[in-house]
């Protein structure tokens, strides 16, 4: 065993420091930890995961995965990162057979979190997770602290002290490498009972630059002496015997009737006699178990079974059976949902499902066998899908109805809805214009609607908002499904009716002429659009809505989810006839809504219509204030208009379809892109953000750039009014599309650059002084919880890890996610600038 000198460790640290300055290959990440037990700071050193396996391209100064130093001494040393069979060239089966010595020590790959334990010269014990040590504020679970608690309990049971262990480890110059397996702290895939929970010792590494580790018998002796749990281990003498054994175990996914994740194989290299580790991981049943876990979380967050079914690509039949099971289970025990989302009850749920199918707790491969057999019968799988859908419907005893308009300003929706609520007082009308602006406004609209439906006499609510874009309709439908559990019992179903005010054959000019004429006649009799006070502003707002309009399309998501569509006419004086049309259609399709009562007569509808025409709002909508500040008050035409501030500046992508086609040509076979397209998770419009107010408010230098951009785009404060949304300006940019970045199963984005800045005559200007570090266009995210701003996070991390000048096509690991990069040098010319509130 070779011991490093202080000079050799100092040289290593110097190389590690140099590696922290690299932009890409071999870049080292350093973090500093101050601990009460150490007189000097503890330094942690790690490399990007993808660098460890590139021996031919990258020579790392130390291959330890887990490396801590104090001064010029290595105090904690993990294993050299080892790889799965066939994962890298060094672990190809032929290479392993020819380059390793024919005596192999196998140990079970325990399923927990790594803990390093070592001793300091002062007799203190240092306990680390893979790359961290000590208490931290940014963690919900601190593995290092939990590991320290566990080792203290373990030593106390033996009547030994942490100082005793620290001194022995320090004198031997060793790091004890253990796996913390405790389902009460953190559940993984495999189960650990109370008696089997604890620290499993599977390695003793010398604190040296070169990887040197003690043989398994010494590790087991150390475990016995210090109260660690021992890993199961044994030896196989030859490669052929080893390979036959591993493949035989992979068939069942078990060893000695216990489901395991796989084996770690320890050997030595021919010629050098160096220690060498590799692993053999079982693919199944762990992929299935992980799918069960993810499906359960999706079901808890959004019990839209049909949507979940669409996302199941593998093991479909057995996962549908599992879905059926968890649906019934959570109906009985809804209080257990929160625990599951926190990571508890995952294994229990799986075991209950196995029991339900009369299988033992180690029958994961039997589940796969059932799946493979049943999946060949397409009809059986289809029947199960239909059964799940019907189960969701059969539990419903009564329905309530939410009517959602698709309109622009001036289509007459409020008058139509007021006419109907005048006829049916138990029907309610929620107006978005009566809700203040702010982050909670969308949820308030949903909550007010659902709150009305809590009343047993209220069967229908008009959710009055323009909903002129797909994303708005999508947001409403998802939020109603998400929040209904807080208002309605599970035996009440919701049906969504689209009230479509804009027919496909209506041209923009026709829409403008009809609606603007109405707005002029209405004058200031509106919560926010005051055409008499400011006709230019009213025109600007209305044109914005018409330009952004995405007409109803029931052949695509989300419009295909409406239970009924009722088309309106918006000719002059059409609100009365539209109200009649809605009544007739509802009575035909949903007779339960009327409880056998007669529809109102024509005279009654006319009376209700005249009353609706007299409606005057008593609320003035003020944007940019919280809902608590927004209050109903009499409209004052002399009231000074509130100014609102710009949220961000951007450059829009003019031709959305052309842009999508460009991306599709590059990603036609990419699974994440296909997922976004199928699930309709692509953004309806695209833009490049130049500068966002949140990124500049605490940085004086960036504030200067913000002001310069404001001046260059000729934005004046007296132009900023309450009701503006995205406002185009007569400046343009040539946008260079540099590379597509696909974060697997999360998002697709395009890194961009500003090639030229142009005025309204397309004459070149000095470059717009943008403040976003990396310009980009987000195309879509796979889940609502994955926010578009994460595009910037991943692109920045990619640049931090690699050289900006040489980010090549390829697969990378960023923030532990798989990221594919496709370089994409295309320029979109003369794209228009805008500002957004």
Rounded to an integer, the average pLDDT of 706-723 is 75
pLDDT for res 490: 61
Query: Which of 216-230, 408-422, 456-470, 796-810 bottoms out in mean pLDDT, i.e. has the lowest?
Result: 796-810
Alpha helices in 333-358 (DSSP H): 337-341, 346-356
* pLDDT of 816 over the 90 cut: no
Pick from 48, 42, 81: which is nearest to 65 by CA?
81
Cα–Cα distance for residue pair 679/749, rounded to 1 Å? 17
Could you tell me where in the chain the CATH 3.90.1740 domains are found?
A: 648-836
Report the pLDDT value the prediction gives residue 700, as an integer from 0 to 100: 82
How many whole angstroms from its chain centre is CA 338? 18
At 562-616, the pLDDT tens digits run 989 999 988 766 788 999 999 999 999 998 888 767 789 999 999 999 988 877 6
pLDDT digits (tens, 9 = 90+) for 380-394: 788 887 777 666 544
pLDDT for 346-375, tens place per residue?
A: 888 988 998 888 877 657 788 888 888 877
% residues pLDDT > 90 (the chain): 35
Does the structure show a pLDDT above 70 at 147? yes
Sequence-separated (6 or more) residues with CB below 8 Å from residue 130: 65, 66, 78, 113, 114, 116, 143
pLDDT of 250 strictly over 60: yes
Residues 18, 21, 25, 27: is their CA dihedral positive or negative? positive
- Closest by alpha carbon to 547, among 721, 409, 687? 409
Whole-number mean pLDDT of the chain? 83
Mean of pLDDT values over 646-671: 86
CATH assignment of 648-836, among 1.10.3470, 3.90.1740, 2.60.120, 1.20.1420: 3.90.1740
Residue 766 banded pLDDT, cuts 50, 70, 90: confident
- DSSP code per residue over 460-482: EEEEE----SHHHHHHHHHHHHH
- The pTM (predicted TM-score) of the whole model is 0.50
Residues 446-488 pLDDT 10s = 988 998 998 888 999 999 999 989 988 988 988 887 777 678 7
400 is catalytic: no
* Fold held by 6-281: D-amino Acid Aminotransferase; Chain A, domain 1 (3.30.470)
Task: Give the pLDDT of residue 748.
Answer: 95
Candidates 46, 63, 109, 428; catalytic one? 109
**Cα-Cα-Cα-Cα dihedral sign, residues 767, 769, 774, 778:** negative
Which residue has better confidence, 543 or 403? 403
Confidence grade of residue 423 (pLDDT, cut at 50, 70, 90): very high
Q: Give CB contacts under 8 A, 24+ apart, made by 56-63.
A: 56/89, 57/25, 58/25, 58/26, 59/26, 60/19, 60/26, 61/12, 61/15, 61/16, 61/19, 61/209, 62/12, 62/16, 62/209, 63/211
Give residue 632's pLDDT: 35
Predicted pLDDT of residue 436: 61
Contact, 227 vs 157, CB < 8 A?
yes
CA angle 274–279–283, rounded 5-degree value: 170
The pLDDT value recorded for residue 638 is: 40
pLDDT at 645 over 90: no
Q: What pLDDT score was predicted for residue 118?
A: 96
Outline which parts of the chain fall under CATH 3.30.470.30: 6-281
Highest mean pLDDT among 206-210, 681-685, 720-724 belongs to: 206-210
What distance in Å separates the CA atoms of residue 367 and residue 321, rounded to the nearest whole number?
A: 10
Identify the pLDDT of residue 776: 95
Distance between CA 516 and CA 514 in Å, rounded? 6
């Amino acid at each position: 065993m070779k011991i490093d000198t202080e000079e050799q460790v100092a040289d290593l640290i110097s190389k590690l420091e140099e590696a922290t300055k690299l932009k890409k290959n071999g870049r080292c990440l350093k973090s500093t930890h101050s601990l009460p037990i150490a007189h000097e700071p503890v330094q942690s050193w790690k490399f990007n995961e993808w660098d460890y396996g590139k021996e031919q391209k990258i020579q790392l100064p130390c291959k330890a995965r887990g490396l801590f130093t104090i001064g010029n001494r290595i105090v904690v040393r993990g294993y050299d990162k080892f790889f799965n069979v066939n994962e890298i060239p060094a672990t190809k089966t032929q290479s392993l057979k020819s380059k390793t010595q024919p005596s192999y020590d196998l140990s079970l790959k325990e399923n927990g979190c790594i803990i390093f334990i070592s001793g300091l010269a002062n007799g203190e014990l240092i306990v680390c997770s893979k790359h961290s040590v000590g208490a931290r504020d940014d963690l919900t679970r601190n593995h290092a602290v939990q590991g320290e608690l566990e080792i203290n309990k373990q030593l106390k049971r033996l009547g030994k002290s942490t100082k005793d262990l620290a001194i022995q480890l320090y004198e031997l110059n060793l790091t004890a490498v253990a796996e913390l397996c405790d389902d009460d702290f953190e559940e993984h895939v495999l189960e650990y009972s109370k008696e089997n929970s604890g620290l499993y010792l599977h390695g003793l590494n010398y604190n040296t630059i070169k990887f040197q580790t003690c043989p398994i018998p010494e590790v087991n002796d150390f475990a016995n002496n210090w109260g660690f749990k021992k890993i199961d281990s044994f030896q196989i003498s030859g490669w052929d015997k080893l390979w036959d054994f591993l493949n035989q175990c992979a068939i069942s996914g078990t060893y000695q009737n216990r489901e395991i994740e796989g084996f770690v194989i320890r050997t030595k290299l021919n010629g050098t006699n160096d220690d060498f580790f590799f692993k053999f991981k079982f693919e199944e049943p762990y992929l299935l178990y992980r799918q069960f876990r993810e499906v359960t979380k999706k079901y808890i967050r959004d019990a839209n079974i049909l949507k979940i079914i669409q996302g199941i690509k593998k093991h479909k039949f057995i996962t549908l059976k599992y879905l059926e099971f968890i649906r019934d289970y959570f109906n009985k025990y809804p209080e257990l949902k929160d625990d599951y989302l926190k990571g508890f009850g995952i294994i229990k749920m799986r075991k209950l499902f196995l029991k339900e199918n009369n299988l033992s707790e180690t029958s994961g491969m039997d589940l796969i066998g059932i799946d493979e057999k049943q999946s060949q019968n397409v009809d059986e799988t289809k029947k199960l899908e239909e059964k799940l859908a019907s189960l969701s419907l059969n539990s419903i005893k009564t329905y309530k109805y939410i009517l959602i308009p698709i309109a622009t300003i001036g289509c007459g929706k409020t008058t139509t809805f007021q006419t109907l609520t005048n006829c049916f007082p138990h029907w309610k009308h929620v107006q978005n214009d009566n809700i203040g602006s702010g982050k909670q406004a969308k949820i308030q609209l949903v909550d007010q609607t659902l709150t009305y439906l809590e009343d047993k006499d209220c069967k229908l609510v008009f959710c009055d908002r323009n909903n002129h874009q797909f994303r708005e309709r999508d947001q409403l439908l998802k939020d109603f499904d998400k929040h209904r559990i807080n208002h309605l019992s599970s035996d009440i179903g919701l049906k969504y009716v689209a009230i479509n005010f804009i027919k496909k054959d209506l041209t923009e000019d026709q829409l403008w002429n009809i609606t603007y004429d109405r707005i002029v006649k209405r004058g200031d009799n509106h919560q926010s659009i005051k055409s008499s006070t400011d006709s230019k502003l009213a025109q600007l707002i209305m044109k914005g809505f018409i330009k952004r309009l995405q007409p109803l399309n029931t052949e695509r998501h989300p419009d295909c989810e409406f239970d009924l569509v009722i088309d309106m006419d918006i000719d002059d004086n059409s609100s009365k006839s539209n109200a009649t049309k809605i009544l007739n259609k509802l009575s035909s399709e949903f007779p339960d809504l009327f409880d056998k009562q007669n529809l109102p007569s024509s005279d009654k509808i006319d009376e209700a219509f005249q009353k609706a025409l007299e409606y005057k709002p008593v609320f003035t909508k003020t944007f940019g204030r919280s809902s608590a500040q927004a209050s109903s008050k009499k409209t004052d035409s002399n009231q000074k208009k509130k100014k609102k501030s710009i949220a961000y500046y951007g450059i829009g992508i003019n031709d959305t379809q052309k842009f999508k086609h460009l991306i599709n040509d590059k990603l036609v076979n990419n699974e994440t892109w296909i997922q976004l397209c199928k699930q309709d998770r692509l953004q309806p419009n695209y833009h490049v953000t130049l500068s966002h107010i949140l990124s500049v408010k605490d940085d004086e230098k960036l504030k200067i750039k913000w002001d310069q951009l404001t001046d260059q785009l000729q934005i004046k404060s007296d132009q900023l009014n309450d009701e503006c949304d995205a406002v185009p300006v007569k400046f343009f940019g040539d946008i260079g599309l540099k590379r597509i970045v696909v974060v697997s199963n999360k998002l697709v984005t395009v890194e961009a650059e500003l090639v030229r800045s142009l005025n309204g005559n397309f004459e070149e200007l000095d470059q717009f002084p943008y403040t976003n570090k990396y310009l980009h266009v987000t195309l879509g995210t796979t889940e609502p919880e994955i926010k578009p701003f994460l595009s910037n996070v991943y692109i920045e991390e990619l640049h931090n890890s690699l050289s900006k000048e040489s980010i090549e096509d390829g697969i990378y690991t960023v923030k532990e996610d798989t990221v594919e990069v496709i370089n994409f040098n295309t320029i979109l010319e003369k794209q228009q600038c805008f500002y957004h509130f």
